[in-house]
Structure 1
Amino acid sequence: MTPFIAACIYAVSAAMPIAMQIALALGAPLGRFANGGRFPGALPPLWRGLAVVQGAILVAMIWSVLARGGVIAAQVAPALFWATVGISVLTMIANAISPSRPERLLWTPVTGVMVAAALCVAFL
């Protein structure tokens, strides 16, 4: 696998949680799949705003991986890329230990693919 392909895999994988964050921000009753299932239906207004922030952070993370992988012609600071890798790892761990079974089953594999792809971009 090349860093280019790994970066594309990361972007496609990260698009899934971005779509989820958009749905949560718009009031979809999917709270059991996020934030440890704290809010089983629609998120309260403050948490909807936080979903927008999380989505924006994911977009920045995609940008850093695509730039590092050579998919887009942009320079990315190494610290930003490594922060993306670290956040991806922490997110995978948080999903894996979530008290919400639906969240664990859905997001642990997705974030696991994101971590593997980011590491491929880093070390290939």
Structure 2
Amino acid sequence: MAPVQSAALAACVILGALAVFQVALLAGAPWGRLAWGGQHRVLPRKLRIGSAVSVVLYAAFGYVALGKAGLVAPLGGTAFTAVAVWVLAGYFTLGVAMNAISRSKPERFAMSPVALLLAVLYLVIALG
């Protein structure tokens, strides 16, 4: 398997785990200190809506990775997918910084490495 395909599959596994985490937050799991700035143990309604939106976005992000890797038909064509992968690489790089400056120590230590791994994987996918 080519490195870009391996990176896309790894990114999808991580995004899938994040989606499960967000669904748990949406359902009222007391893990809010790990997300959304870490200000709430159990998320309030507005942030639960954000968690629901995140699940949909993670699915789209995964599809973009798989499309760039040639594992599924790219949405919007190959040019759109190529740009989208670079945008996502930048997004996850920004996520590293945002998680690193979170006031929530649990969020900093749990989510910064996840964002860094996704940033690296999307860079590999973009370069592939």
The TM-score normalised by the length of structure 1 is: 0.89
1:56 to partner: Cα distance? 1.1
2:37 is aligned to 36
- Corresponding pairs, count: 123
Where does 1:1-80 land on structure 2 (aligned, <5 Å)? 2-39=3-40, 41-74=41-74, 75-76=77-78, 77=80, 78-80=82-84
Give, as a single letter, the amino acid of the residue that structure 2 aligns with 1:120: V
5+ residue gaps in structure 1? none
CA RMSD of aligned residues (A): 1.5
Which of the numbers 77, 92, 96 marks the counterpart of 1:92?
96
1:36 to partner: Cα distance? 1.6
Distance (Å, rounded) in 1 between the aligned partners of 2:32 and 2:39: 7
5+ residue gaps in structure 2? none
Q: Matched residues, percent identical?
A: 30
The TM-score normalised by the length of structure 2 is: 0.87
Residue 11 of structure 1 aligns to a residue in which SS?
A: helix
Q: What stretches of structure 1 move > 6 A for 4+ residues in a row?
A: none
Higher normalized contact order (CA 8 Å, seq sep 6+, divided by chain length): 1
1:123 to partner: Cα distance? 1.2
